Amino acid sequence: MSSISFIALKTIWIKECTRFLRIWVQTLVPPAITMTLYFVIFGSIVGERIGDMGGRPYMEFIVPGLIMMSIITNSYSNVASSFFSAKFQRNIEEMLVAPVSPAVIIGGYVGGGLARAMIVAVIVTCVSFLFVENVSIHHAGILVLTVILTSTLFSLGGLINAIHAKTFDDISIVPTFVLTPLTYLGGVFFSIQLLPGIWEQVAQANPVLYMVNAFRYGFLGVSDVNVGVALAVIIGFNLVLFTLAYTLLKRGAGIRS
């Protein structure tokens, strides 16, 4: 990487981090409040009636899923809102005419989404300590790798959504009609082994399932799917979305008149 590209990458990344840190009350506090409510309602109240799930206390079982849910939501929304704002204000065109590769622009925005996702993950993990005493890490390497790959994936998804969006309302379509159903059906609150045969097979077509279970394996050492397959699926989606985002930026799709 040339010095110009490195400076551009660092500048975009710092700008993205500064943006969400400046309004931390809106970007970092809400996930903590939302996850606290999930722990109280699904963990304390509902969990006492459910008992064990996957050989673990229900409260302990849902911790990785709730952390992954916050990672998905925040990495996606951070890039989608930021990139669309830059496009709406017409300053994204300055990046496109600058002597930097679209990969540098993608890297800067994805880096911002990754930074926010990591901070939120730490916050939600700290919140979980208030409700679960025996939160342990089974495999730190897989845990960190899954967080990086997942936040990168949904940051790329947010970027692609922002490229195609024409109004601010378009940004909320994907989270509402795609991310929310996939997340709730992705094994956050239950093990897919409880599903009838055909529905278990349908659930395996959900990419979020692999992210949640890879992360749960890193935490608890249990997973409904093969961890190697899960990581391969996440990496595959990352490659596809990066290629798509690079192509769209290279062509100036949705940006250049």
**Domain-wise residue ranges, the chain:** 3-251
- Mean pLDDT, range 232-254, rounded to an integer: 92
Q: Residue 49: pLDDT band by 50, 70, 90 thresholds?
A: confident
Computed over every residue of the chain, the mean pLDDT equals 88
Count of beta carbons in the 10 Å neighbourhood of residue 56: 18
Look at residues 37, 23, 145 and name the one whose alpha carbon lies nearest to residue 74: 23
Average pLDDT over residues 57-63: 85
Indicate the pLDDT class of residue 214, thresholds 50, 70 and 90: very high
Residue 54 has pLDDT above 70, yes or no: no
Task: Give the global pTM.
Answer: 0.91
Which carries the bigger pLDDT value, residue 235 or residue 257?
235
User: Which range has the top average pLDDT, 31-40, 80-89, 151-160, 175-184?
Assistant: 151-160
Give the residue-averaged pLDDT of 43-59.
74
> What's 45's DSSP letter?
I
Does the pLDDT of residue 51 top 80, yes or no? no
Q: Which residues contact 256 (CB under 8 A, 6 or more apart)?
A: 93, 96
How do strand 56-57 and strand 52-53 relate by DSSP bridges?
antiparallel
The reported pLDDT for the residue numbered 121 is 93
Residues 215/67, Cβ–Cβ less than 8 Å: yes
Torsion angles phi and psi, residue 144, rounded to 5: -65, -45
Task: Give pLDDT, residue 1.
Answer: 65
